[in-house]
A and B are shown apart, each in its own frame.
Chain A
Amino acid sequence: MTTADERVVVGFDQHSTEYKAGFPEIGHPMRARCPVVWSEENGGYWIVTGRELIGQLAKRPDLLSNDHDPTGKRRGYGGVAIPAPVGGSTRGGFLEMDPPEQLDFRRVLNPFLSPAAVERWRPMVAELSAACLDEVVESGEVDFVDDVANIVPAVLTMGLLGLPLDDWVHYCEPAHATVYTPPQSPDHPRVMEMAMQMAFRLAGELERIKVEPRPGMIRALVDAQGDDPATFNDEDLVGTLLLLIGGGFDTTTALTSHALHWLDSRPDERRRLLDEVGLLDTATEEFVRFATPAQGGGRTVTTDCEIGGHRFGEGDRLWMAYALVNHDPEAFPDPDEIVLDRFPNRHAAFGLGVHRCIGSNLARMSFKTMLTEVLRRLPDYRVREDGIVRYEDIGTINGYQHLPATFTPGARQGPPLDEVVAAWQRTLDAETV
């Protein structure tokens, strides 16, 4: 039981270099003292590190709000980023909403992202993955981030949204750079400018799809706006598109990079993943658990309350530290080891409760497809450790900017990437008629 006076106070900031260097072990001493601790950093906030407690908290969206209300129309809450973004004036789509509004958005988008819906995209993802590898296979050199893991999820996201597949290039750098560039970086102003251009571009696409409907998620949101213009207003639609691009691009890239890096020195595990039926499925959950690409999410306490024996006050900020929860030894034996056949695996890497990652099925499918293709086509790849660049700040997304590798060159097996993208564009356009 913690009270305002008894709270366990730690020095903690998920955006710090100490966090990046200490993850995941950094959570253990905190968790050993209390499954929820308090830090004075970032304006003061709770950090939830226990698997049992986070499950209880996630079931109370009435007490823990995701709302982001920078203009003070409601209660002025700070949304899911801790600290709240400087100068951020819009909320991040339905992730920064509470039920019932949040559920209205998800009801529109869920049919695009269910396991059944996602299966329909598997052939495109497989061809894109193969084409990305064809582009590098003759050279013997690859950057798994720039050449594969940045491209496939990005093109796929364009397809789902109903945007031209080629346009992924306009969103790629801002989608990643806004996540890995901390506010104190000299590059921050340029990245913010890119982010603004991205928002303008999406607002333009939204207007275009209102008059020239193309099937996809944007069209579905526009149709929902017709029925309920107050909930599905333009501002929240653009916020939602930015959320879908951020979630669609950056997280799967991070997951794929982590897995390929871990497999670098483990040729036997690479072979097992290709040969053992079912291992890829459990391994995917294990890589997601271990790396937790989306490290956590902020909440605001809506009323003085007690949950799981811990007291919280109205307005308190709280960080659902999925990444640290996923290394709780009470729930995961040997939590800091990757065990490819770990199952059951009650990880919280896709979040818990009503905000469960809406793209989790898409992420699994594209991750498995990319990983399998790399293991098949570049079986002897070795990562160039000196060329690895991790995100400067992993507190939002635990990602890689670069993961270069060398391998024995091979022969192309299919057409160039731009031809594959163009062919899929024709296929999608034909489906629309």
Chain B
Amino acid sequence: MRVTVDPDVCQGHTLCALAAPGVFLLREDDGHSYVAGPEVLPEVEEAVRKAAATCPEGAISLEE
């Protein structure tokens, strides 16, 4: 699985980092999200799916 955060859509709600900490990181200056790397390890796939589902802006895309 691959994951991306669209920086133009993310508004810094931070719920992705709550769902999958370590996969989604929050910028120091505004708390907007970015991914540590696009490849998702199998053991966190479920958490990343939850993160995508809870993003209020729909900024997270998954590629299975």
Q: Which residues of A contact B (CB under 8 A)?
A: 55, 58-59, 106-107, 110-111, 113-117, 281-282, 285, 343-348, 350, 352-354, 356, 360-361
The reply to whether B11 and A356 contact each other, CB–CB distance below 8 Å, is yes
Residues 30-50 of B contacting A (Cβ, < 8 Å): 30-31, 50
Q: List 21 A-B contacts (CB under 8 A).
A: A111-B29, A111-B30, A114-B26, A114-B28, A115-B26, A116-B26, A116-B28, A117-B28, A282-B18, A343-B19, A344-B50, A344-B54, A345-B15, A346-B53, A346-B54, A346-B56, A348-B56, A350-B56, A354-B11, A356-B11, A360-B14
Asked, given contacts A114-B26, A114-B28, A343-B50, whether A285 binds B11 with beta carbons under 8 Å apart, the answer is no
Inter-chain contacts of A352 with B (CB < 8 A): 11, 56-57
In whole angstroms, how far apart are the Cα atoms of A361 and B18 in the complex? 12
Which residues in A have their C-beta under 8 angstroms from that of B29?
A: 110-111, 114
What chain A residues lie within 8 Å of B19 (beta carbons)?
343-344
Residues in B with CB closer than 8 Å to A281 are 18
The complex places the Cα of A361 from the Cα of B33 at a distance, in Å, of: 13
B7 is an interface residue with CB less than 8 A from chain A? no
- B57 and A110 contact, CB distance less than 8 A: no
B26: chain A residues at CB < 8 Å are 114-116
Residue of B9, B18, B28, B56 near A347 (CB, 8 A) is: B56
Chain A positions within 8 Å of B22 at CB level: none
Given A116-B26, A356-B11, A356-B13: A361 and B57 interface contact (C-beta under 8 Å): no
Known: A111-B29, A111-B30, A344-B19. 18 other contacts (CB 8 A): A55-B56, A58-B57, A59-B57, A115-B31, A116-B28, A116-B31, A343-B19, A343-B54, A344-B15, A344-B50, A344-B54, A346-B56, A350-B13, A350-B56, A352-B56, A353-B57, A360-B12, A360-B13
Return chain B residues, CB-CB under 8 Å to A59: 9, 57
CA–CA, A256 and B57, complex, Å: 25
Inter-chain CA distance A114–B19, complex, in Å, is 18
Best-surrounded residue of B11, B13, B56, B57 (most CB of chain A within 10 A) = B56
**In the assembled complex, which residues on chain B have CB atoms less than 8 Å from the CB atom of A344?**
15, 19, 50, 53-54
- Tell me which residues across on chain B come within 8 A of A111, comparing CB atoms: 28-30
- In the docked arrangement, what's the CA distance between A86 and B31, Å? 36
Bound CA span A359–B44, Å: 29
Shortest A113–chain B CB gap in Å is: 8
Tell me whether A55 and B31 are in contact in the complex, defined as CB-CB below 8 angstroms, given that A115-B26, A360-B13 are known contacts: no
